[in-house]
Amino acid sequence: MSAVKKILIIEDNLLQYRVTERMLANARIGQFNSDWAQTYEDGLRLLLTGDYAACLLDYQLGEQNGLDLLRAARAERCETPVIFLTADSSVQVDEAAMEAGALDYLVKGEITPRMVERSIRYTMKLSQAMRELHLLATRDALTGVLNRRAFDSMLREEVLRSRRFNHPLSLVIVDLDHFKSINDTHGHPAGDAALVEAARRLEAEVRGIDRVARIGGEEFAIILMETPENEAIIVAQRLVANMKATPIGVAPGVNLTVTLSAGVSTLPVEAKNNLTLLESADRALYQAKQSGRDRAVLAS
């Protein structure tokens, strides 16, 4: 027996909500429970919880509309698949709904229980496929952290946000010391195991709002949101110390002590844009390598 799916209906008209709710109850294959939000504010609040398999969103919500709500939800990175409901069958509304982030579009006067069910199942499968494609496009296949392409894009965005709101932004670049010797001595599977565990430890040591990326073979970058340089160097030193503290099991019976070198740079102290932030952190990393490895160096 398939699990009951929780559906959010955002609709300002009680009668129309009852009609839609009845259609969901009469679904022949799927099992659905629905929650109702009557206002723009309540609808957005519930949608952003991420507790729903799908959302049926009305176009007209009092003085506001569903398009604005959908755009606001997507701006908050809400991934719940949304089906747009409207009495207007014009191409313009259809296109506007799709551009705002809806995955399907239904005209109220033409809806049947079978149509609603089909639309929900379709949007759920499409949403899952889109999430999987997004992971493939943005995540490093080996370690699961952000890949270089996603890192470059995120760094550009965060630098712009930092400059706009006058908040500090720090970047830490770390490199696994003597990594080639791990591959040469123990084989590439051992090297892969070291990279995977290093990525896991880096993510575990930073906040949920920070971002870890693999930007080269054994090189990682950590974007520290709203972090000044005096705090960033402390974070980098902690990363270095914690990596060294516990050996990494790279093969059965083989545990290696892996060390890091780290370079730290902060916007706007040592850099003015994403390129100079990356360059100054990289120079600081080079200094850490040249001065003996297993340490963190601040760009300034």
Contacts of 104 (CB under 8 A, 6+ apart): 83, 84, 119, 122, 123
The tokens for 272 are 């003015």
Tell me the C-alpha distance between 281 and 278, whole Å: 5
CA dihedral 138→141→147→148, nearest 10 degrees, is: -120
User: Lowest-pLDDT range, 3-7, 136-140, 221-225, 252-256?
Assistant: 3-7
Bridge-based pairing state of the strands 169-176 and 219-224: antiparallel
Is the link from the previous residue into 168 a cis peptide, with omega within 30 of 0?
A: no
pLDDT (average), residues 219-233: 97
80 and 8 Cβ atoms separated by less than 8 Å: yes
pLDDT at 94 over 80: no
pLDDT at 227 over 60: yes
171 and 227 Cβ atoms separated by less than 8 Å: no
pLDDT (average), residues 66-85: 91
Tell me the C-alpha distance between 79 and 47, whole Å: 9
Bridge-based pairing state of the strands 169-176 and 260-267: antiparallel
Q: What is the pLDDT of residue 211?
A: 97
Q: What is the pLDDT of residue 300?
A: 77
Of 54-68, 98-112, 278-292, highest mean pLDDT: 278-292
CA nearest neighbour of 166 among 275, 269, 277, 281: 269
Rounded to 10 deg, the angle between the 148-165 and 274-290 helix axes is 110
Strand partners, 79: none
Q: Give the domains, in start order, of the chain with CATH numbers.
A: 5-135 (3.40.50.2300), 148-298 (3.30.70.270)
pLDDT (average), residues 81-91: 83
What pTM, to 2 d.p., does this model score?
0.70
pLDDT (average), residues 13-31: 82
- With a pLDDT cut of 90, the percent of the chain lying above it is 69
Q: What is the pLDDT of residue 287?
A: 97
pLDDT (average), residues 216-242: 97
Q: What is the pLDDT of residue 2?
A: 55
Bridge-based pairing state of the strands 64-65 and 60-61: antiparallel
Q: What is the pLDDT of residue 86?
A: 84
Q: What is the pLDDT of residue 276?
A: 95
Tracing tokens 């591959």 back to the chain, one arrives at: 183
CA nearest neighbour of 294 among 252, 255, 244: 244
SS3 of 63, please? coil
215 and 269 Cβ atoms separated by less than 8 Å: no
Q: What is the pLDDT of residue 29?
A: 60
